[in-house]
């Protein structure tokens, strides 16, 4: 394929029908390549903005600001590997496990944002929002449509599993969603509960063992341990304010 053929194909992909109608007159002009580049860049920018809006990642601290010295345990090599997004290639799931405030959500948001930058479809939601949304639907047709909505993204992030307990219906809905995505799309979950305690998250639900089994099969599990970083920041802010007050009095 010649350079002119390549440029013509690019113009077609951009739906520049007016340009294509006069292609014989403009092919070879130096400005054509510049125009195509501008249009492609603008389309990519608008696509990213649209996907950022629909992903609902929210505001987050960039990974470069993460204090790797704070957690007692957090495998930086594994996190760096996750940021390459190789796990999306074979639909590997990711589970970030650790107590409150150690940065699980922040790491998940960074991975999700990187996936968006690389052109993947992403949806970020909390477990409470996801299960509440599904459980509120009162028709089978509406539920199927909503399950397809959550099953569609290449990366689905379910944040804060374990902070609330749920009914058997919620457990069944989570199992149905994970089953739909199983070995097809990657799901990233953050949880403050080890899997042995998930029966407390979904008490009396018969599907918990199967849910965990499908979630962790071929999954990357990252355990994070340490004191809450949010508590550390709160203490630091309190100490700074106290120093300023003491300085103002002296």
Instruction: Specify the CATH number for the domain of residue 71.
Output: 3.40.50.300
9 pLDDT more than 70: yes
Indicate if 103 and 226 belong to the same structural domain: yes
Q: Which domain holds residue 162?
A: 63-231
Its sign, for the CA torsion 235, 237, 243, 249, is negative
Looking at the structure, do residues 27 and 67 belong to the same domain, yes or no? no
- For residues 82 and 188, the answer to whether their CB atoms sit within 8 Å is no
Report if residue 161 sits inside a domain: yes
> Is 123 a domain residue?
yes
Q: Work out the number of other CB atoms within 10 angstroms of the CB of residue 26.
A: 14
Q: Are residues 32 and 112 located together in one domain of the fold?
A: no
150 and 182 belong to one structural domain: yes
Residue 225, φ and ψ in degrees, nearest 5: -130, 145
pTM: 0.80
The residue among 135, 136, 124 whose CA lies nearest residue 176 is: 135
Q: How confident is the model at residue 250 (pLDDT cuts 50, 70, 90)?
A: low
Beta carbons of 171 and 131 less than 8 angstroms apart: no
User: Which of 61-70, 75-84, 147-156, 210-219 is predicted least confidently?
Assistant: 61-70
SS3 category, 206: coil
**Domains of the chain: total:** 2
**What are 122-164's pLDDT values in tens digits?**
999 999 999 999 999 989 999 999 999 999 999 999 999 999 9
């Amino acid at each position: 394929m010649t350079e002119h053929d390549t440029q013509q194909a690019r113009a077609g992909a951009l739906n520049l029908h007016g340009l294509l109608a006069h292609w014989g007159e403009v092919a070879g002009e130096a400005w054509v390549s510049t125009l195509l580049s501008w249009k492609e860049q603008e389309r990519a920018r608008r696509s990213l903005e649209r996907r950022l809006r629909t992903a609902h990642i929210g505001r987050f601290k960039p990974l470069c600001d993460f204090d790797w010295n704070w957690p007692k345990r957090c495998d930086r090599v594994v996190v760096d590997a996750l940021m390459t997004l190789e796990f999306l290639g074979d639909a590997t799931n990711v589970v970030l496990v650790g107590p409150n405030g150690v940065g699980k959500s922040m790491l998940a948001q960074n991975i999700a944002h990187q996936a968006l930058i690389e052109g993947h479809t992403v949806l970020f939601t909390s477990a409470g929002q996801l299960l509440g949304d599904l459980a509120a639907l009162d028709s089978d047709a509406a539920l199927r449509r909503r399950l397809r909505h959550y099953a569609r993204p290449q990366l689905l992030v379910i944040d804060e599993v374990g902070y609330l307990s749920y009914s058997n219906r919620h457990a069944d809905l989570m199992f149905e969603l994970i089953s739909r995505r199983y070995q097809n799309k990657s799901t990233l979950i953050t949880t403050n509960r080890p899997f042995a305690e998930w029966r407390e998250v979904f008490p009396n639900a018969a599907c918990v063992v199967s849910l965990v089994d499908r979630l962790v099969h071929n999954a990357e599990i990252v355990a994070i341990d340490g004191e809450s970083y949010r508590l550390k920041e709160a203490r630091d802010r309190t100490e700074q304010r106290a120093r300023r007050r003491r300085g103002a009095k002296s």
